[in-house]
Amino acid sequence: MTASKSKVVDIHTHMYPPEYISILTSRQNIPLVRNFGDNSKDPRLILLEAEVPSLQLALQVPSAPIPGRPLTSHYASLGQKIHFMDTHKIDISVLSLANPWLDFLTPEEASGPLPATINNDFERMCQLHPGRLYFFATLPLTALSTQVILDSITSSKGLKHCRGVIMGTSGLGKGLDDPNLVPVFKALAEAELPVFLHPHNGLPNSVYGPQQKDYGHVLPLALGFPMETTIAVVRMYLAGVFDAVPGLRMILAHSGGTLPFLAGRIESCVLHDGALLKKFKEEKRRSVWDVLKEQVYLDAVVYSEVGLKAAIAASGEKGEERLMFGTDHPFFPPLETDEQGEWESVGLNAQAVRKALGEGSKEADMAMGGNAFRVLKLFEK
């Protein structure tokens, strides 16, 4: 990690509090936690649609490969999070519940006490380590009414260490371009709570083809996740959400999926669609490039300087001021070295920042923490 003057901040780092794990353990459908007896030391965490075929096989055939990922202490233990931060010289972490957040709750459950319990638990964890931990709250998006969601924004804003909300791409069930979601975005803008947008659904399993079981998690995680984010943000853009809510700030996971690489193509497709072009001109819509440099921040969880350079370039003349380092802990643990030591995944992202912005440079320093510190106001108020 860089010998930086400003603090190193990890804005992409997840946890599942113990009460969330117990809900997963009681469930029959994904997301769920299952024990596979002697076949696996740890219980398995099965989250993704792409993992369902291997779950079904493992439940029928005891010798089949075990599905999902080991649910190690890294997912729920605060002590483990602090140890991970210390090991990697991370000064501050902005914690978030991992996918799929509360999106699977019934409307009744989402309207009950559970969402506040989870958010309060994150606040409690932050209070145990003053100055080191902040968090993105989770919204009860499947609640019985929008008012429940708006109330949750108000109570989250009241939590001392809350610095935004984490959200998937489902919205109220119809995606983030749903007009019914605009009041939620307006409330978040009003409360100055940025949205950390994170994928969960990937692409339909059929896209991955008949041999997908031989390809592990590569297709859903390396490609499905980034495409999901890209499509969600472009739908928001096409629906005019960014113009309708100019105060909305979004931090996009995985450097915006493929948005930096595809922004030109998106822009060109708009320019070459007669009806859209007319509408955009009448409504004086800003370009994708403008939205990227005015309302969007990108995390640096892209594992190579090639993607990171695209992310910086797409974010405008001062693109290096819109980039924020992240680790995605506790996902992607090392497979060949001790999990209590340094993680290769963290090293790859830190190295990408150094290579893209220059070892020891002011810009690298900002991406490693200065930007997050400034934008998310990571100091005790």
Q: Alpha helix locations (H) across the chain?
A: 18-25, 52-60, 78-87, 107-110, 114-128, 146-157, 182-190, 225-239, 241-244, 259-271, 274-282, 288-295, 305-314, 344-357, 362-365, 371-375
Q: Which stretch binds Zn ion (CB under 5 A): 34-42, 256-264, 284-292, 323-331?
A: 323-331
Which residues, 79 to 108, sit near ligand URA by CB under 6 A?
Answer: 98-99
How far apart CA 188 and CA 200 sit, in angstroms, is 21
Buried residues in 31-62 as b, exposed as e (16+ CB within 10 A): bbbbebeeebeebbbbbbebbeebbeebeeee
Least distance CB 331 / ligand URA (angstroms)? 4
By rule CB under 5 A, what string of x and - marks binding of each residue 161-190 to Zn ion?
------------------------------
By rule CB under 6 A, what string of x and - marks binding of each residue 171-210 to ligand URA?
----------------------------------------
In the bound state with Zn ion, the residue whose beta carbon lies nearer, of 140 and 199, is 199
Residue nearest to Zn ion (CB): 328
Q: Which amino acid is at 295?
A: Q
Least distance CB 218 / Zn ion (angstroms)? 16
Least distance CB 10 / Zn ion (angstroms)? 11
In the bound state with Zn ion, the residue whose beta carbon lies nearer, of 51 and 328, is 328
Helix (H, G, I), strand (E, B) or coil at 304: coil
In the bound state with ligand URA, the residue whose beta carbon lies nearer, of 135 and 331, is 331
Torsion of CA 69, 70, 75, 79, to 10 degrees: -150
What would the 3-class secondary structure string for 216-247 be?
CCHHHHHHHHHHHHHHHHHHHHHHCHHHHCCC
In the bound state with ligand URA, the residue whose beta carbon lies nearer, of 50 and 259, is 50
Contacting residues for 105 by C-beta, under 8 A, at least 6 apart? 114, 115, 140, 142
Q: Residue 221: which of ligand URA, Zn ion, none does it interact with, CB under 5 to 8 A by kind?
A: ligand URA
Q: Is 328 in the site for Zn ion (CB under 5 A)?
A: yes
In the bound state with ligand URA, the residue whose beta carbon lies nearer, of 82 and 221, is 221
Least distance CB 239 / ligand URA (angstroms)? 26
In the bound state with ligand URA, the residue whose beta carbon lies nearer, of 48 and 308, is 48
By rule CB under 6 A, what string of x and - marks binding of each residue 327-366 to ligand URA?
-x--x-----------------------------------
What would the 3-class secondary structure string for 58-111 be?
HHHCCCCCCCCEECCHHHCCHHHHHHHHHHCCCCEEEEEECCCCCCCCCHHHHC
Q: Residue 47: which of ligand URA, Zn ion, none does it interact with, CB under 5 to 8 A by kind?
A: ligand URA
Please, are residues 362 and 149 in contact by the beta-carbon 8 Å criterion? no
29: number of Cβ within 10 Å: 9
Number of residues that bind ligand URA (CB under 6 A): 8
Q: Is 76 in the site for ligand URA (CB under 6 A)?
A: no
Out of 30, 46, 47, 241, the residue judged to bind ligand URA by CB under 6 A: 47
Which residues, 3 to 32, sit near ligand URA by CB under 6 A?
Answer: 14
Please, are residues 369 and 2 in contact by the beta-carbon 8 Å criterion? no
Helical pair 114-128 and 18-25, crossing angle rounded to 10 deg: 140
Peptide bond just before 107 cis, omega within 30 deg: no
Which residues, 216 to 245, sit near ligand URA by CB under 6 A?
Answer: 221
Q: Which amino acid is at 69?
A: R
Least distance CB 334 / Zn ion (angstroms)? 17
Q: Is 228 in the site for Zn ion (CB under 5 A)?
A: no
Applying CB under 5 A, the residues found at the interface with Zn ion are 328
Residues in touch with ligand URA (CB under 6 A): 14, 47-48, 98-99, 221, 328, 331
